[in-house]
Chains A and B, each alone.
Chain A
Amino acid sequence: DGGITQSPKYLFRKEGQNVTLSCEQNLNHDAMYWYRQDPGQGLRLIYYSQIVNDFQKGDIAEGYSVSREKKESFPLTVTSAQKNPTAFYLCASRRQGMETQYFGPGTRLLVL
């Protein structure tokens, strides 16, 4: 069963804590993306990666970090520098040469 998986579904962060959101895809897609969704704000791009070991900042990268050590995986770390982390985080992937981005089910991050 191919697709994009994100875990956990819900994540709680304490003050000053770094947390990592997982995104895995078995679609053999080259490009992967992280978006943040806030109510009434649409989706905003955090980071993206077109190939392994390479990634670029999106529109709202401050307070976040990523890695792309494997084609299948693109984890997102929400650092303590992100002062307003409460949001719904969505991972997406895209095949090289195609335009469609496919989204995972999302992770909801809440601050304790």
Chain B
Amino acid sequence: QQQVKQSPQSLIVQKGGISIINCAYENTAFDYFPWYQQFPGKGPALLIAIRPDVSEKKEGRFTISFNKSAKQFSLHIMDSQPGDSATYFCAASSPGGGADGLTFGKGTHLIIQP
């Protein structure tokens, strides 16, 4: 059972455009939702994270929008740059700080065309 569904699987955006990646979750006990960025051959790195008590969080060009009633959250990358080309994973964890690990979406391969 896939508890975090991520879409699209791949995405091509022109430089300067907005990249949008969506995730939906099933487990209402999840209370921490991070996004990770991964470059080829490297480990994932935390990009930005949100808790369900806020509807939006912004850090620089990266914004998470969170819809608790719909059990959905999304990553928006404003003014997308070629250096943003990477694979992005959404994830979720249950209460307790994710002590028992993160549940990941399957990833979105993002390409920013110059």
Contacts and interface: CB of A to CB of B under 8 A. Distances in A.
Contacts, number: 64
A102 B104 contact: no
A99 interface: yes
B42 interface: yes
A33 interface: yes
B106 A99 contact: no
Interface residues of B, number: 25
- From DSSP, what is the main secondary structure of chain A's interface residues? strand
Interface in B12-48: 32, 34, 36, 41-46
Interface stretch (A13-21, A36-44, A69-77, A78-86): A36-44
Interface of A: 4, 6, 31, 33, 35, 40-45, 48, 50, 56, 58, 90, 92, 94, 96-106, 108
Interface of B: 6, 9, 32, 34, 36, 41-46, 49, 89, 93, 97-107
